[in-house]
Amino acid sequence: EAGVAQSPRYKIIEKRQSVAFWCNPISGHATLYWYQQILGQGPKLLIQFQNNGVVDDSQLPKDRFSAERLKGVDSTLKIQPAKLEDSAVYLCASSLNRGDTEAFFGQGTRLTVV
Amino acid sequence: ILNVEQSPQSLHVQEGDSTNFTCSFPSSNFYALHWYRWETAKSPEALFVMTLNGDEKKKGRISATLNTKEGYSYLYIKGSQPEDSATYLCAFPSYDKVIFGPGTSLSVIP
């Protein structure tokens, strides 16, 4: 079974620029998560989708972050404009359903904002 | 707000030492607890899913125990090896989301 795919693996941008990350979850997984992991901290949930609907985006900084999951499969996470404090690893994960099964993670995108 | 805590935040041990760390979670409405190992530049990898009070799971030199009444789980590593160096995360599924602890960063010194 193919795992969760994310791209790019690494990205370096200047502050105030825009960036987008892409995630392809495991086939058949209804739930998709985007996490932000800042060095020294645990992953923080940014947004959770159930199929193509948003379940939780309470910790998403909506003034600069946006995410979509068109057709309930692939997802993109965008930051516009980026700030220095956005430097982190952005992890995408998927699970069969909401909160009740193991989540499978992609390798993450390491973003550095300079 | 549900809180999942882990201690210690980081740990440095010599190769061959045994070690353990703790995950604390809300004891009410328990469903399951997940342990993950996250090595640098790799995906977090699931270690254990624990569901029953008193559960004990083992995978090689790594084992975990669960106490749902008091809201904690211990992860043990026997005879640590350099390849055990990673961040160990616990995660608590709550209704419709998964809440992660901050992780314990383990470094095993050869």
Beta strand B19-24 pairing with B5-7: antiparallel
| Best residue in B34, B48, B95, B97 for a mutation probing chain A (most A CBs within 10 Å) | B97
What average pLDDT does the segment A36-49 reach? 86
Report CB contact under 8 Å: A102, B34.
Answer: yes
Q: What is the pLDDT of residues B42-64, one digit of tens each?
A: 888 999 999 888 989 999 999 99
CA distance B73 to B97: 19
Query: What pLDDT shows up at residue B62?
Result: 97
> What is the SS3 assignment for A103?
coil
Q: Which of residues 49-78 of B touch A (CB under 8 A)?
A: 49
Task: Please check the confidence at residue B84 and state whether its pLDDT lies above 70.
Answer: yes
Task: Please check the confidence at residue A87 and state whether its pLDDT lies above 60.
Answer: yes
Give the gap in angstroms from C-alpha B105 to the nearest C-alpha of chain A: 8
Task: Please check the confidence at residue A67 and state whether its pLDDT lies above 80.
Answer: yes
Q: What is the pLDDT of residues A22-38, one digit of tens each?
A: 999 999 998 899 999 98
